[in-house]
Chains A and B, each alone.
Chain A
Amino acid sequence: MIQLSIDGREISVPEGTMVVDAAAKLGIEIPVYCYHQALGPLGACRICLVEIEKMPKLQTACTTAVREGMVVHTGGPAVEKGRQGILEFLLINHPLDCPVCDKGGECFLQDYSFWYGSGKNRFEESKIQRQKDYPVSDYILLDQERCVLCQRCIRFLGEYVGEEQLMLEGRGVHTVVSTVEGQPAHSPYAGNVIDLCPVGALLSEPYHFKARPWNIEREETVCSVCPVGCASLVTGRDGHPVRLEGRPQPDLDDYGFLCDHGRFTYDFVNHPARLEQAFLDGKPASASAAVAAVGERLARVVEKSGGGAVAVLTGAVHTVEEEWALAQFARESIGTSRLAVLKPVAGDLPLPLLGTYADLAAATGVLLLGADPYEAVPVMHLKLRAARRAHPVAVWGLGDRVLTRSTLPGEDFVAEPGQVAARLGVVLGGEALDGRWAELRRGLLETERLVVLWDGADPAAAALLAALAGQRGERPTAVLPTHGPRNWLGAVRAGISAEHAAAARILEDAAEGRLEALILLAADPLRDFPDGDLAARALERVPAVYFAGWFAPEPRHALSAMLPTAAWAEVTGTYANMEGRLQVAHGAAAAPGQARPVRSLVTALARAMGHPLRLPDFDPFQDQDGDRIARPAKQPAESAGAPARPALPPGEWRVLTGDMVAVSHPPSEIAERTREPLPLRLHPHDADELGLGAPGGLIEVAQGERRFVAGARRDARIPAGRVFIPRGLADVPANRLDHGAGVKIALADPVREEVAAP
């Protein structure tokens, strides 16, 4: 530890700490533009000048590391003049167009000028005019005139993300930020540069000219799009969310970076497809009439056949409190124990293994088990890169396709489709492994702190992960489940089973005629349940399906009633993310139309059933492990090993599937502009053989009588002879195909498509 004095106050900080951070620990704010803890020192803006005794010149606090006995003054005439000079320089070519700037009121150039500036303007020469509204991407605008050239945006994309898409162009006073070779900055993390920009240079296109700081509500929330649950701020104006920003959490070492799939989909709550109106038997109904009718029908079923004839499936996207209210309703008012979370994967994480982001930050080895974090849970990819920047981390990919990438290099082990767990079993079994696989085994067993990112697809992997943890003995093993739904761990906290078998039993009961009513809370079994055929049989057979939620599933004619509920950003409540952390999100918008919070909806339904529901107090945080949900104690390890599946006949295309948040995020008009038109992927050799051109095109995927058409492109990360279909894709439902049976792929006939189009 290094002892130093700042403004007469002593502090001791670790060696290598910059003066600016040491001062921050004392609560002394030194102004910065270019410095950012995630990006490290640059020393370009010079606003952080401080006086250090025994040094002849002013020093930049962001590039000066602390030294024993250092005496720092962050004020005084020399420092004040230095700062005034820098601010004056920053403003001489600045257009001073704050009244029409989106960042007006949220701008550090304004704040620092107000706090530290001289308040005078001595510059009488002409200002340099530059490009305004330069499109950096579909979502980001750059005003080069307002830029202070702190290079945060360039360094973030180039160094932190590893995708060099922004650069400095020109020299001296003619220097500007631009995109590399005029190509858009298409990185899924590019939106963070809007938050990083300390001034009004980088702007959100969807938020452009939408609001002023004095007519918005900016509330703390968490992103609702994937289970990472990124801390964020939602901006509401006139009852609508109009912006999502990252929210740094210094105590969690989280800089508040988001991915663009989360940042630019907040408008889903106002999407035209949003359920805002109650429907009864396919016809619009008043909210009270619909609730009364559903309540009466449920009461009749319960009276006739008992509560067990009703089952409840939740899509686990509502708050923990609402999921808990649903569970109370199911148990108390209906009297059923058939209640489960609908997950898109069949694997169940052994909860004792549930890891944390802190585990990931400290990991020495990371196994991507079927999960491609860049596509499924993008901010986890960033967290992994941050860990690698801090210390060496070995990365292994074990899946049915390549899972590492140039921005997250590692060793890939590609298994046959459906044999990922089997492969892991062989590795853990340890017999007759050849070179690379033997190294994987050694790495997995011997790395000091192992974190597994698991996609949950292969149920057999669960026992193997427990076995792996057992074999590793005292060395910590943590698993982070990358699959959805967003708040499945929150539903677990609310007492709802998230086991695949529980949901499967409900659907089997429905398919076999043992249910008389099925209640779906934001659940879409046809789209999401891994066995789509079972879901289809269940929905056909069950006499009544009551849906409540944000987006009604297709086909809507199968739904006896549709009841709108309030969505994310419209209620204040708690969510749990994939590390089981309970996060409070505040509302900043109004629920549209007849949409109401689940708690209010279920109490109304209970009243209509004639069994008023008294919801006792509920605190999601009670009896938990800090703000993370309690984990059960570790179970003794089970034996490793799993049977390998028989090989498939050669020449058959086999289906791979995985999570892609770009496909699975809720419908968004903003994100529509970057919607992937070619979501399917083929190996380039296969694409050549098929005659699929370089830009990609439509292909037909056929299995038996089923035929689907969708856009596909080349991807060398997909092994030859396979087709990758993202989960939840409406055009090609991967859960309606038998993954073990192969499919036929052909170029789609565009003429026939046109005829077939409605």
Chain B
Amino acid sequence: MSSARPDRHYLLRQRDVPDIHQLEVYRAHGGYEALKQALEANQPDQLVELAKASGLRGRGGAGFPTGMKWSFLPKDGRARVLVINADEGEPGTFKDRELIEGNPHQLIEGMIITCFAIRAPESYVYVRGEFLHGYERLTAAIREAEAAGILGAEVMGHPFAHRMFVYRGAGAYICGEETALLESLEGKRGNPRSKPPFPAVAGLYGRPTVVNNVETIMNLPPLVLKGADWYRQWGTEKSPGLKVMSVSGHVNRPGNYEVPLDWTLAELIEAAGGVRTGHQVKAVIPGGSSMPCMPASQLDTPIDYESLVEAGSMLGSGGCIVMDDSTCIVRAVARVVRFYRNESCGKCTPCREGTYWLTDIMDRLERGDGEMRDLDMLLDVSDNINGKAFCPLGDAAVGFLVSAIKHFRGEFQEHITGQRCPLGARQYDTAIH
């Protein structure tokens, strides 16, 4: 039984409170109370325990338990760093953008609480380059917090000193991968690093580093105020809490929805106004374009991390892409594969060369120049990328393709035998992508 949707927003608070991006408004509505409480209690380790007890998991894609990530930091006295991954580049995902633009102070508050918990004197936010508005909102909010004594040599009167920096990326999908992000933040080419050493041991400038997603950290203020049990009223045992899902595609009301993690895909689509009248859901990608798609028959799957993995996909970053029966799946795959070809950083062989090859084959298929043997070749080339690339981008590039051939092989075959799209979809213009 799915839990009820809360009567108010805890993350997308701008939906309930206009102008909450302003410090004054944020404070008038209980803002920075959690930080104050945490500082007064003055027990950083308790905060780590709270994060663990709540079962909060990373909202960036991998779903790693947040409290556990913090506890991996070596206790060797070196200065630690918190880096916020706001390089939201996953197609189909646009939650962090709205969160930063609408509710930046909750991010700042969550960051300071986290840094207090892990004893980090500095934190960085790596904002996707395209998010100019969010960058300006966040920078303005930091200036406000500094002026109000919330950031600086003292934090709200507590001797814990904290400095916060915001950095804009230059437009590379790969920089959402945490080690590539750290490289980019250090001013280098955004290529992923070898792990180990993990960022917890040697991250930004070699310092012990925690990299967390925007949404993850924004859960901290309500958690501190209301406690782990409150948080666990939503979702499942292993995937508790609320999640901001970005619903896009052929729904009537695309947008971000803050929902409990035990909802089903069907409930989520319903909340987004359902698919367009006269159409049926054909396929859904639940977690952004890097995840495998699911056919309409699987819409009853709950969106928690475990259920989606069991169903052959992943929650990822929560970018739910809904495709109705007007969608040419071959064209959709060609488009997504091309995206990953363009965004491959070029460091490792399988991702760099494999995505190029897949793109060429998919373009040929879509043009109507495909051959039957191409289908098995697509799967074999995908297999040669999957699990063999340096970072998850390689796996991401083939997730949709492999699942689409699995669920919609007939449609691929019709493209080959009919030498054109059975749905009459126009080939997209490769020159502009």
Contacts and interface: CB of A to CB of B under 8 A. Distances in A.
Interface of A: 41-47, 49, 56-58, 63, 65, 81-82, 85-86, 88-90, 92-93, 122-123, 125-126, 128, 148-149, 167-168, 170-175
Contact of A58 (B342, B347, B349, B387): B387
Nearest to B191: A168
A101 to B, nearest CB: 20
B194 A42 contact: yes
B357 A92 contact: yes
Given A82-B388, A125-B361, A93 B346 contact: no
B341 A44 contact: no
Nearest to B354: A89
Contacts of B353: 89-90, 92-93, 173
Counting chain A CB atoms within 10 Å of each CB, the highest count among B189, B341, B348 belongs to B348
Given A89-B353, A90-B353, A92-B357, A168 B346 contact: yes
B390 A174 contact: no
Contacts of B357: 89, 92, 123, 125
Given A168-B189, A175-B352, A85 B342 contact: no
Contacts of B349: 44-47, 86, 89-90, 148-149
B338 to A, nearest CB: 11
Given A85-B388, A125-B360, A125-B361, A170 B377 contact: no
Counting chain A CB atoms within 10 Å of each CB, the highest count among B349, B377, B389, B390 belongs to B349
Contacts of A122: 377
B347 to A, nearest CB: 5
Interface of B: 172, 189, 191, 194, 196, 341-350, 352-357, 360-361, 364, 377, 381, 383-385, 387-390
B356 A46 contact: no
Contact of A57 (B356, B360, B387): B387
Contact of A149 (B194, B352, B364, B384): B352
Nearest to B363: A125
A637 B234 CA distance: 82
A44 B348 contact: yes
23 contacts: A45-B349, A46-B349, A46-B388, A46-B390, A81-B384, A85-B388, A86-B384, A89-B349, A92-B353, A92-B356, A92-B357, A122-B377, A123-B357, A125-B357, A125-B360, A126-B360, A128-B356, A167-B189, A171-B342, A172-B341, A172-B352, A173-B341, A175-B345
A45 B352 CA distance: 10
B253 to A, nearest CB: 35
Contact of A85 (B189, B344, B384): B384
Contacts of B194: 41-43, 63
A93 B346 CA distance: 13
Nearest to A175: B346
B345 A46 contact: no
A338 to B, nearest CB: 62
Contacts of A125: 357, 360-361, 364
A171 B356 contact: no
Given A46-B389, A49-B388, A85 B350 contact: yes
A172 B343 contact: yes
Contacts of B345: 171-172, 175
A149 B364 CA distance: 27
A221 B344 CA distance: 44
Given A82-B388, A123-B357, A125-B360, A89 B350 contact: yes
B383 to A, nearest CB: 8
Contacts of A58: 387-388
Nearest to A148: B349
B248 to A, nearest CB: 25
Given A57-B388, A173-B341, 6 more contacts: A89-B353, A122-B377, A171-B343, A172-B342, A173-B356, A175-B346
A85 B353 CA distance: 11
B172 A171 contact: yes
Contacts of B360: 125-126
A90 B350 CA distance: 8
Given A41-B194, A85-B384, A173 B355 contact: yes
Contacts of B388: 46, 49, 57-58, 82, 85-86
Contacts of B364: 125
Contacts of B343: 171-172
Contacts of B383: 85
Contacts of A170: 346
3 shortest interchain CB distances as A-B pairs: A85-B384, A175-B346, A125-B360
A173 B189 contact: no
Counting chain B CB atoms within 10 Å of each CB, the highest count among A47, A56, A86, A128 belongs to A86
Contacts of B354: 89
A327 to B, nearest CB: 56
A93 B348 contact: no
B356 A44 contact: no
Contact of A45 (B172, B189, B348, B361): B348
A63 B198 CA distance: 13
A44 B394 CA distance: 12
Counting chain B CB atoms within 10 Å of each CB, the highest count among A46, A65, A88, A174 belongs to A46
B348 A46 contact: yes
A652 B168 CA distance: 57
Contacts of B387: 56-58
Contacts of A90: 349, 353
Contacts of B385: 85
A44 B347 contact: yes
B346 A173 contact: yes
A647 B356 CA distance: 71
A337 to B, nearest CB: 63
Contacts of B350: 46, 85-86, 89
Contacts of A45: 348-349
B95 to A, nearest CB: 26
A418 B249 CA distance: 81
A402 to B, nearest CB: 29
Contacts of A167: 189
A150 B288 CA distance: 31
Given A63-B194, A86-B350, A149-B346, A44 B377 contact: no
A119 B49 CA distance: 57
A44 B360 CA distance: 23
A167 B188 CA distance: 11
B346 A88 contact: no
Nearest to A150: B349
